[in-house]
Structure formats: structure tokens, C-alpha cells
Amino acid sequence: MTQLAIAERLRATVGEARLQSLLQAYAESRGAILPLAVLLRDEGVGIDDDVVTWIAQTCITSTAMVTSALSAFPELMNDPDSITVCDGLSCRLMGAGYVQRLLRDRLGSDRVCTSPCQNACSSAPIVQVRGTLYGGLQEASLQALAQRLEQPERAS
Ligand code: FES
């Protein structure tokens, strides 16, 4: 997606006023890096090099600054349609490895990725799909989630 297309898509979906409001909400424009990345993710725009460059130009900063800020939130860098299994310690102790294997077997390896702790450890193991956390997954609920995710139109 070109940088112009990114800007046009955001203006068309969230509106110029909301976009400007977000950009002006921070004393330093680079404060808008993460809110912009979240907005883009919510709009289904994957974060690629063009998007990083557009965020950098919009926030009047460098691509290195944007990449650095986003690196702490790998879930923002993933394809918005990907399924993220938390790979933090609590989730691993509660069976995240099994969750990953089952989801990869049923949905394909390319759709399933991992993330660091999602700060929902008391509900481990955690799976995130389009910003929604599914926690406390056990065999029956995991199978049900996998079945829903096999039908993309019903997964979100
Ligand atoms: S380790 Fe998975 S939510 Fe904390």
C-alpha cells in the first residue's frame, strides 16, 4: 500500500477531524506513533515499510524511531488477520505450546504467530485475534475457537 493510499484510507475511514485530533493531542508529534499504529491495525492495515515511513513523516520523526517504538509491540507489526499466541512464561506454563501446535495444525503456520506477555497472565494461556483476547483456553474452548477461526467471517 502506498503512503498516499494509507493517508487516503485513514481519512476516508476515520475522518480528517479525528486524524488531526489524534495528531494534535501530543505535545511532541512522535507521541502519536503508537496511537496511529493502533488505528491502522484497527482499520486492517498491516505495518510494512511504507506504513512505517508514512507514520514517521506524519509524526515528523525518523523511521528508526517508529521502528523502535513499534518493536516493543510486536502484535502491531503482525498481519491484522494473524492469530497471536502469547509466548510469555505464564502462558507457556499453562500450555501455550500445545495451543500453538493445535492452531498451526488446523489453521496453517502462516496465520499463527507468537507475542510476549499480554499482561493477562491470570487468564493464561492467551490467544489474541484482531485485538480480542481469548483466555483460559482448555481443550474444549480451544477446539471451539479453532473451529470459529477456520471460518474467517465469524472469527472476529
Ligand atoms: S504470559 Fe501470557 S499473558 Fe502473561
Q: Are residues 105 and 135 in the same domain?
A: yes
Supply the range of the domain harboring residue 71: 3-77
Q: Whole-structure pTM over 0.85, yes or no?
A: no
Q: Which three cell numbers stand for residue 136?
A: 483460559
Q: Which three cell numbers stand for residue 144?
A: 471451539
Neighbours of 23 (CB within 10 A): 16
Q: Are residues 44 and 89 in the same domain?
A: no
The residue whose CA is least distant from atom 1 of ligand 1 is 88
Per-residue pLDDT of the chain (156 residues; tens, 9 = 90+): 676 677 777 777 778 888 888 888 998 888 999 998 888 877 777 788 888 888 999 899 999 999 888 877 766 766 667 788 999 999 999 999 999 999 999 998 888 888 888 889 999 999 988 778 899 999 999 999 999 998 855 444
Residue 54: predicted pLDDT: 87
Q: Are residues 46 and 101 in the same domain?
A: no
Q: Are residues 104 and 40 in the same domain?
A: no
User: What is the full DSSP assignment across the chain?
Assistant: --HHHHHHHHHHHH-HHHHHHHHHTSSSGGGGHHHHHHHHHHTT----HHHHHHHHHHTTS-HHHHHHHHHT-HHHHS-TT-EEEE-SHHHHHTTHHHHHHHHHHHH-GGGEEEES--S-GGG-S-EEETTEEE-S--HHHHHHHHHHHTSHHHH-
Residue 14: predicted pLDDT: 77
**How remote is the CA of residue 85 from the centroid of ligand 1, in Å?**
9
Pocket test for ligand 1, best of 98, 115, 121, 133 (most atoms within 8 A of CB): 121
CATH of the domain at 95: 3.40.30.10
Residue 155: predicted pLDDT: 47
Residue 125: predicted pLDDT: 97
Mean pLDDT computed over every residue of the chain: 85
Residue 129: predicted pLDDT: 86
